[in-house]
């Protein structure tokens, strides 16, 4: 089916081959309904299953659903058959930035524009808790307006992938662009590693060659580890200072993205990219596991949606119960906007606890009719002020369900607030969170309580 002129799943007409690797080919294609040009990445299921790249593909799907930015390749949809996976993405008409770099150094203003767009995209990715980990000119594409687009999130990592020490431990990326702490295999901060890669890219754009290069790979690694490089004579003092801070081999003192954006060289002519309504819209959750399920008829995997009824019925009560939670079939936990827990405490105790937590977090609480409350943030977030509805349902006088629904604001900020602040603080009134075992939850609470008890005196 992946031949020029053929029609893919009755939706896309495949065109010329744009590029290929060991496990995938990328084609230009046309949407038969809208006529829009797209790029379709065709991945061979059997090959990636054999070499164990399933998690990498799932990660790429999950990450691409999180990132909606003017300078990141847009992800439209994913389809699957028995043998193939198809990523439908934005088509970058200008090709790879790498092709421009091959011709030599760029003019300062041009290099600065690409760098500004790159940093803007990386800053956004980091705000979504996503580290790219393979930034290089080959993964930076150009659109028809010669604007930069970051692509290829196959090696990216969510911060949830960190180990207990809070660091990433997978060595990945392209040697010449990889930070020294990644090479040393001692664990690293993915965001700091991305800053290093951006520094190498900026150097390449301005110089026309790599800062760390040697025919002997070990010698090159030694230069990277020590941060040994020289500036061409045409580099301006401002950009030299910036690069010294970006290519600092010590990640702890390496410049942050925020400070890069405040540097004098970066700010020259900088205009924050305007986001469209489509980019502000958060994509519906997508089941990354579903693309690996065998589809008997060879067609695309079915798409599931879960809608909550206004009133609780028997099916809803069953779905809240341990062992019958069906939400995982429909919802992506990274983007889930609803959270529920069951409690065997009186409604008054739950309300008091919520009010206490909101006061500590400087959240405004507004009571509505029945058991409905609105929680509002005090600070302006990336997509306005965060607003959350909290509703208490009485199943029996001693059994309640509490549901939180995000009304407005940024979903990742909402998730972060619950994961780091609200959920831990609610442990006194929670019997079980949706999908978790009540006994396990009680054991966890008991361990927490024991840890906070004072040690017996001798």
- Whether 134 sits among the annotated catalytic residues: the reply is yes
Strand partners, 98: none
Q: How far is Cα 414 from Cα 416, in angstroms, rounded to an integer?
A: 5
Tell me if 58 sits within 8 A of 52, measured CB to CB: no
Q: Tell which residue, 195, 166, 156, has the closest CA to residue 178.
A: 195
Q: Find all residues with CB under 8 Å of 9, minimum gap 6, and list them.
A: 79, 81, 86, 299, 300
Q: How far is Cα 445 from Cα 250, in angstroms, rounded to an integer?
A: 40
Q: How far is Cα 258 from Cα 126, in angstroms, rounded to an integer?
A: 11
Using alpha carbons only, give the angle 125, 130, 133 rounded to the nearest 5 degrees.
Answer: 100
Buried/exposed 31-65: b ≥16 CB within 10 Å, e otherwise = eeeeeeebbbbbbbbeebeeeebeebbbbbbbbbb
- Note the Cα 414 to chain centre separation in Å: 15
41 annotated to a ligand binding site: yes
Q: How far is Cα 271 from Cα 117, in angstroms, rounded to an integer?
A: 9
Q: Find all residues with CB under 8 Å of 34, minimum gap 6, and list them.
A: none
Q: Which of the following is catalytic: 2, 55, 134, 189?
A: 134
- Note the Cα 409 to chain centre separation in Å: 17
Q: Find all residues with CB under 8 Å of 8, minimum gap 6, and list them.
A: 1, 2, 14, 29, 40, 79, 86
For 234, the enclosing helix (H) or strand (E) is none
Which residue has 């409905």 as its token pair? 372
Task: Supply φ then ψ for residue 58, to 5 degrees.
Answer: -60, -40
Q: Quickly list DSSP for 366-407.
A: EE-STTEEEEEEEEEEBTEEEEEEEEEEEEETTEEEEEEEEE
Q: How far is Cα 415 from Cα 408, in angstroms, rounded to an integer?
A: 13
- Note the Cα 38 to chain centre separation in Å: 22
Which residue has 């924050």 as its token pair? 272
Strand partners, 21: none
Annotated binding site for ATP: 41
Annotated binding site: 41
- Residues designated as active site: 134
């Amino acid at each position: 089916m992946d031949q020029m002129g053929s029609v893919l799943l009755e939706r896309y007409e495949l065109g010329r081959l744009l590029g290929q690797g060991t496990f995938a080919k990328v084609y230009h294609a046309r949407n038969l309904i809208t006529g829009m040009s797209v790029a379709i990445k065709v991945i061979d299921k059997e090959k990636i299953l054999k070499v164990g790249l399933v998690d990498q593909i799932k990660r790429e799907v999950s990450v691409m659903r999180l990132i909606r930015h003017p300078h990141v390749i847009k992800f439209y949809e994913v389809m699957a058959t028995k043998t193939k996976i198809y990523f439908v993405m934005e088509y970058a008409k200008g090709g790879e930035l790498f092709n421009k770099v091959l011709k030599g150094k760029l003019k300062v203003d041009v290099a600065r524009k690409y760098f500004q767009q790159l940093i803007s995209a990386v800053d956004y990715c980091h705000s979504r808790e996503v580290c790219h980990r393979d930034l290089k000119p080959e993964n930076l594409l150009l659109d028809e307006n010669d604007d930069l687009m970051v692509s290829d999130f196959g090696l990216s990592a969510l911060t949830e992938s960190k180990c207990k020490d809070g660091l990433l431990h997978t060595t990945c990326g392209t040697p010449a662009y990889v930070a020294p702490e990644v090479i040393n295999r001692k664990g690293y901060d993915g965001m700091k590693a991305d800053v290093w890669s951006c520094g190498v890219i900026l150097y390449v754009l301005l110089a026309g060659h790599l800062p760390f290069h040697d025919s002997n790979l070990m010698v090159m690694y030694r230069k990277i580890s020590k941060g040994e490089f020289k500036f061409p004579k045409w580099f301006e003092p401002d950009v030299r200072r910036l690069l010294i801070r970006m290519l600092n081999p010590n990640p702890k003192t390496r410049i942050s993205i925020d400070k890069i954006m405040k540097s004098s060289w970066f700010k020259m002519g900088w205009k924050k990219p305007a986001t469209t309504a489509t980019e502000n819209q958060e994509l519906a959750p997508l089941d990354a596991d579903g693309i690996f399920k065998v589809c008997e008829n060879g067609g695309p995997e079915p798409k599931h949606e879960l809608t909550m009824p206004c009133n609780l019925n028997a099916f809803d009560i069953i779905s809240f119960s341990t062992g019958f939670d069906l939400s995982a079939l429909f919802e992506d936990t990274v983007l889930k906007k609803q959270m529920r827990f069951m409690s065997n405490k009186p409604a008054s105790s739950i309300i008091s606890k919520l009010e206490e937590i909101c006061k500590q977090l400087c959240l405004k609480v507004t009571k509505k009719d029945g058991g409905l409350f609105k929680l509002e943030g005090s600070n302006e977030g990336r997509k306005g002020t965060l607003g959350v509805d909290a509703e208490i349902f009485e199943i029996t006088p001693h059994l309640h369900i509490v549901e939180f629904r995000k009304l407005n604001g940024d979903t990742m900020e909402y998730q972060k607030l619950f994961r780091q602040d609200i959920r831990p603080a609610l442990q006194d009134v929670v019997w079980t969170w949706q999908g978790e075992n009540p006994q396990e939850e009680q054991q966890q609470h008991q361990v927490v309580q024991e840890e906070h008890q004072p040690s017996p005196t001798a």
